[in-house]
């Protein structure tokens, strides 16, 4: 039986600059798993899923539309959560065997306001520590609501309500880039002041004994037959 945790730990290496950014700032922008020539196909798959999904897995809010469980919605999404640098970042933050907690589509609506600043998880909470990731399907800019972070806020307890908008910095990048971040860093998307939606795919890794969103129970026969051993390990928990 393959020890996927040890094998991945041996094969995935986090470069020193990204490790320093995660330690000091709580987030970093890295290259994503999809080459530029493949981004159009991934975006088409994203739009198809968001357009076709109905029911409880799709939520349309005031500022964003979300679709959960991309793991079971097409092979185009399989490479996203086995991306070596993202796994290496997770080793760096979680520091013990982990699993994929969720994988979802998220579209920020045009002319929508900023999100309330928050943390995803706090020390001692189920799911601590967490490594989140955001794949940019569209270019992230300050104008279209790029996710903003309070540098260093993952290192100490604080009230996110006391954070001023001017304290946060946007994580900008071209389409195909990926943000990796510590789940305890204060963050939230900014205002989308443009007339176009801003699309992304988001996910998180958490300790294997944490609850997560039940991806293992939802994994379909088709998904299990399609994905590789590492992917199944990350989903199965």
- pLDDT tens, N- to C-terminus, the chain (237 residues): 789 888 888 899 899 999 999 999 999 999 999 999 999 999 999 999 999 999 999 999 999 999 999 999 999 999 999 999 999 999 999 999 999 999 999 999 999 999 998 999 988 899 999 999 999 999 999 999 999 999 999 998 777 677 777 789 999 999 999 999 999 999 999 999 999 999 999 999 999 999 888 999 999 999 999 999 999 999 987
Cα(183)–Cα(121) distance, integer angstroms: 6
Q: What is the pLDDT of residue 162?
A: 77
Listed in order, strand segments (DSSP E) in 40-144 are 58-60, 64-67, 98-108, 131-136
Q: Dihedral of CA 71/76/77/80: which sign?
A: positive
Q: What is the pLDDT of residue 14?
A: 93
- Distance between alpha carbon 212 and the CA centroid of its chain, in Å? 14
Q: Which domains does the chain have, with CATH numbers?
A: 4-236 (2.60.120.620)
Cα(187)–Cα(168) distance, integer angstroms: 8
Cα(99)–Cα(80) distance, integer angstroms: 14
- How are beta strands 98-108 and 64-67 bridged, if at all? antiparallel
Q: What is the pLDDT of residue 173?
A: 98
| Each residue's pLDDT tens digit, 108-167 | 999 999 999 899 998 889 999 999 999 999 999 999 999 999 999 999 877 767 777 778
């Amino acid at each position: 039986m393959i020890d996927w945790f040890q094998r991945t730990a041996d094969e995935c290496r986090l470069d020193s600059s990204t490790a320093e950014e995660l330690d000091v700032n709580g987030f970093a922008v890295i290259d994503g798993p999809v080459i530029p020539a493949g981004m159009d196909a991934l975006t088409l798959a994203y739009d198809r899923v968001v357009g076709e999904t109905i029911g409880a897995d799709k939520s349309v809010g005031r500022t964003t539309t979300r679709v959960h469980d991309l793991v079971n919605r097409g092979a185009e999404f399989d490479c996203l959560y086995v991306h070596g640098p993202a796994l290496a970042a997770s080793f760096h933050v979680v520091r013990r065997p982990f699993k994929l907690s969720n994988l979802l589509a998220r579209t920020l609506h045009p002319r929508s306001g900023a999100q309330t600043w928050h943390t995803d998880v706090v020390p001692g909470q189920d799911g601590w520590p967490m490594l989140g990731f955001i794949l940019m399907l569209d270019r992230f800019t300050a104008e279209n609501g790029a996710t903003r972070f309070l540098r260093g806020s993952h290192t100490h307890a604080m009230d996110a309500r006391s954070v001023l908008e001017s304290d946060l910095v946007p994580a900008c990048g071209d389409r195909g880039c990926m943000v990796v971040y510590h789940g305890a860093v204060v963050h939230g998307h900014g205002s989308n002041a443009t007339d176009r939606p801003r699309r992304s795919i988001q996910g998180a890794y958490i300790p294997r004994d944490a609850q997560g969103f039940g991806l293992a129970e939802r994994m379909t026969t088709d998904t299990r037959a399609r994905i590789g051993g590492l992917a199944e390990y990350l989903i199965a928990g």
